[in-house]
Amino acid sequence: MASEETVRHETVLDNVGQHVAKVYAEALLRAAAGRGQGREILEELDALIDNVFRREPALEVLLGSPAVGRESKAAVLRQTFEGRANELLVDFLLVLNAHDRLDLLGGIVRVYRDLFDRSENRMQVRVSSAAPLPDDQRQRLLDELRAAFGKEPILNLAVEPDLLGGLVVQVDDWVYDSSVRSRLEAIRKQLVERSSHAIQSGRDRFSTANGD
């Protein structure tokens, strides 16, 4: 599934922006849920961020630019999305434009996804591995995460060759790191701590021998 293959782009907002993004995301989810389209709207939002803006970064820049007028942006939105995207989503984008809030779209998508996941007892899981996960290992990971958290995990997979093997699994603030890189770093820290302790012990013996 597409939701298991892509690590989403996260937008960093200030406190005011986060609050406004949450207000719009909650309103969109209520409207979508009322039509039984909560999941469909999420999929289209993800496609907008992951596919449309990725292929046409100039479009994202144009829609978020304060130098471009509302009427011009509305014309672009209608030309680009009417007849291709869900009518509710098109209307929502036009409302954002009317209030000069299109620059918050990335943050709104993130909040909408979090709210929808909560309503569906789902959780987003970032999984980094040195090589693509085989199907059997992916399924085992899904089963273990379901058992551990009691929620349906949505895997966002990323390949990072510098991990040197193993996995890094992140759910919110919880991180499990089994990579060789993390083990080497742990060994390095242990060696540094032992060296520091040995140096300090030597200083203490020296001080004692000199009567200090």
In this predicted model, what pLDDT tens digit does every residue of 165-206 receive, in sequence order? 778 899 988 888 877 555 545 555 566 666 565 555 555 555
Q: Which residue has the higher pLDDT, 211 or 123?
A: 123
pLDDT at 194: 60
Fold of 8-119: Peroxidase; domain 1 (1.10.520)
pLDDT digits (tens, 9 = 90+) for 84-135: 999 999 999 999 999 999 999 999 999 999 999 999 999 999 999 988 989 9
Domain ranges of the chain: 8-119, 122-177
Mean pLDDT of 144-151: 92
Residue 11 pLDDT class (50, 70, 90 cuts): very low
Q: Give per-residue pLDDT as tens, 52-84.
A: 999 999 999 999 999 999 999 999 999 999 999
Pairing label, strands 122-129, 152-159: parallel
Residue 71 to residues 56, 67, 74, 201, Cα–Cα distance (Å): 20, 12, 5, 73
Confidence of residue 156 (pLDDT cuts 50, 70, 90): very high
- Residue 211, pLDDT > 70, answer no
Q: How confident is the model at residue 207 (pLDDT cuts 50, 70, 90)?
A: low
Q: 40-49, 93-102, 146-155, 159-168: lowest mean pLDDT where?
A: 159-168
Task: Enter the pTM of the model.
Answer: 0.70
Q: Is the pLDDT of residue 2 over 50?
A: no
Q: What is the pLDDT of residue 16?
A: 86
